[in-house]
A and B are shown apart, each in its own frame.
Chain A
């Protein structure tokens, strides 16, 4: 069945998802959207890891994917906590308003 779908399709999907993530990260102002964009980029990378792992019959690609998922879960936990705190303190989720460290 796998032979029916060429590997380039997987990689193209991965690139599209990654590009969507980058675009979201760069152009959206809402912190949660930005956060979700980061998750999207991570998972796009996970997809290409799994694809190459399958292609090369190599298990280390899967391993990396698990690591990335663990990091993403931890990041989601910490990140959402930060976002909650920021929202409590500032009543805004606009990323451009959360720049007091700069000044």
Chain B
């Protein structure tokens, strides 16, 4: 089946653009970068058609990667229904965003560098979803983290961008630490890292072993997929170019944690404790991130917190045992959130870099295509039936209700808030009167065509791709709630959010400010993101830096290690400075010493009675 072609094509694009791109014209860079991704997408399609009914998975072995003692890890690729869904999302949306980037990046420096990194990202993401063992998945996992770092810090001459890149990289290390421990533990208990071998034995393993593994895997997922307490890097990651935010920090990379937990479903279904933790972390993240999103003024920050919140939803689905619903939401979210980000990018592009919602307004007439495509994403994320977000969010909420009604109700409130903050962003951007100064202009076709495709997918993707049913064969069946009441409630919450935003930002524009004045304390709390960054800074970062500086640097390094080395040298010099006095260079003083020595010898010989025999 030549599965290796799927990731190798973007890798070739990366190598060609990375090595020769500086000398290429822009159109040649485009051809290489986009051509490789589109070819990869076509090869995915060919693979799917060649697989027929898709009921049997295929696995290909290329070479033995690591062999040492009992460790035997191969470079193996696996394709089953879950992989197919991920492959289509990654290569499909990846292709669209690559095309969009031609327009968005046209005025930016480092053009070839951007596309080389994007292709490298595609390579690692495809390795991540294709890998047939945990270690190969981890290779992709780390690789996409690297590309994320490189692209967040793409504008490396700006301090905040490089800081954001460092933050993303360092926070992800914490998650990766958990993932590594999980892999060690899996290997210790099951003697292998291959998915089929591990999952085959997992059903009969003791529950506490599986719970430990599950929780450690969840730590990894929390880092990559921006869940509490490790979500802080994702909002800052918006320092990168907007297509990067859309592709890596909304549609694909951040969903790697969801994919990984869904892939390890055998472990989680036998570890109900870990499942509960996932569901609780997910719903808390969804709720808190949504509240933060209510009060942000940077259009990309609103959508960034929205992404964190929606990822929380996916984990609620996973934690409730509805793995297929989680993946379903992953796919629809990839459509509408990529669209929201690309649309936001189009707005920012139109306003020559303006990102503050307070300086927008009334853009509906000026950039109509962007407006109408973003409306499609708006209705999809708000859960308006029959658009894509409605189906997947509803599937998750139904499963959550089966699991725990409390989670369902928090989820409903979150759905209302989601609808509210997206509506708020839409109203502030496109309605009312224009408050900015830049001259708005519509984006070129190369940008709005991908927007239009994503808009169509956001509208019809929900029922066009019944992913939940498609994945049903893979995952254990859960009870269908079949309660239309629950569905009405969540839809109502969505409309309520939109209506409230309409009231506050269009009908009575002063209302939002007066509410913020009335509820000053809570408003300040969410406006400042619950001061989480400040708390982390005070409790973790500063003690760590202070401890490193005072103890490790000044104490251990400068005091102990340098002290020993310099002390040895200094004592040698001290001894030398005394001995140096003998070496005066004055011949007659040497002669005096010789004389004294001779006299001393003679006296000694006299006292001892002649030469020793």
> Taking beta carbons and an 8 Å cutoff, which residues of A are in contact with B?
22, 25-26, 95, 99, 101-102
State the CA gap A99–B584 with chains docked (Å): 11
State the CA gap A99–B586 with chains docked (Å): 8
Asked if residues A22 and B595 are in contact (CB atoms below 8 Å), the reply is yes
Tell me, yes or no, whether B607 is within 8 Å of chain A by CB. Answer: no
Asked if residues A25 and B591 are in contact (CB atoms below 8 Å), the reply is yes
Closest 4 CB pairs of A and B: A102-B585, A26-B588, A25-B591, A22-B595
B residues 582-613 near A (Cβ < 8 Å) are 584-588, 591-592, 595
- The tally of residues in B whose CB lies under 8 Å from a CB in A reads 8
**In-complex Cβ contact of B591 among A26, A99, A101 (8 A):** A26
Q: Using CB atoms, name the residue of chain A closest to B595.
A: A22
**In-complex Cβ contact of A99 among B585, B592, B595 (8 A):** B585
Asked if residues A26 and B592 are in contact (CB atoms below 8 Å), the reply is yes
Dominant secondary structure of chain A at its interface with chain B: helix
State the CA gap A22–B596 with chains docked (Å): 11
- B517-550 toward A: CB 8 Å interface, digit per residue (1/0)? 0000000000000000000000000000000000
B419 to nearest A CB, angstroms? 89
Q: Using CB atoms, name the residue of chain A closest to B584.
A: A102
User: Can you pick out 5 interface pairs between chain A and chain B where the beta carbons lie within 8 Å of each other?
Assistant: A22-B595, A25-B591, A26-B595, A95-B587, A99-B586
Q: Which residues of chain B come closer than 8 Å to A102, judged between CB atoms?
A: 584-586
A103 to nearest B CB, angstroms? 9
State the CA gap A29–B591 with chains docked (Å): 14
State the CA gap A68–B471 with chains docked (Å): 109
Q: Which residues of chain A come closer than 8 Å to B591, judged between CB atoms?
A: 22, 25-26
A11 to nearest B CB, angstroms? 13
Q: Using CB atoms, name the residue of chain A closest to B587.
A: A95
Q: Which residues of chain A come closer than 8 Å to B587, judged between CB atoms?
A: 95
A91 to nearest B CB, angstroms? 21
Q: Using CB atoms, name the residue of chain B closest to A102.
A: B585
Q: Which residues of chain B come closer than 8 Å to A25, judged between CB atoms?
A: 588, 591
State the CA gap A25–B587 with chains docked (Å): 10
Asked if residues B592 and A101 are in contact (CB atoms below 8 Å), the reply is no
State the CA gap A25–B586 with chains docked (Å): 12
State the CA gap A99–B588 with chains docked (Å): 12
State the CA gap A102–B587 with chains docked (Å): 11
State the CA gap A51–B161 with chains docked (Å): 97
* A22-B591, A102-B584 given; 14 more Cβ-contact pairs under 8 Å: A22-B595, A25-B588, A25-B591, A26-B588, A26-B591, A26-B592, A26-B595, A95-B587, A95-B588, A99-B585, A99-B586, A101-B585, A102-B585, A102-B586
Q: Which residues of chain B come closer than 8 Å to A22, judged between CB atoms?
A: 591, 595
A19 to nearest B CB, angstroms? 10
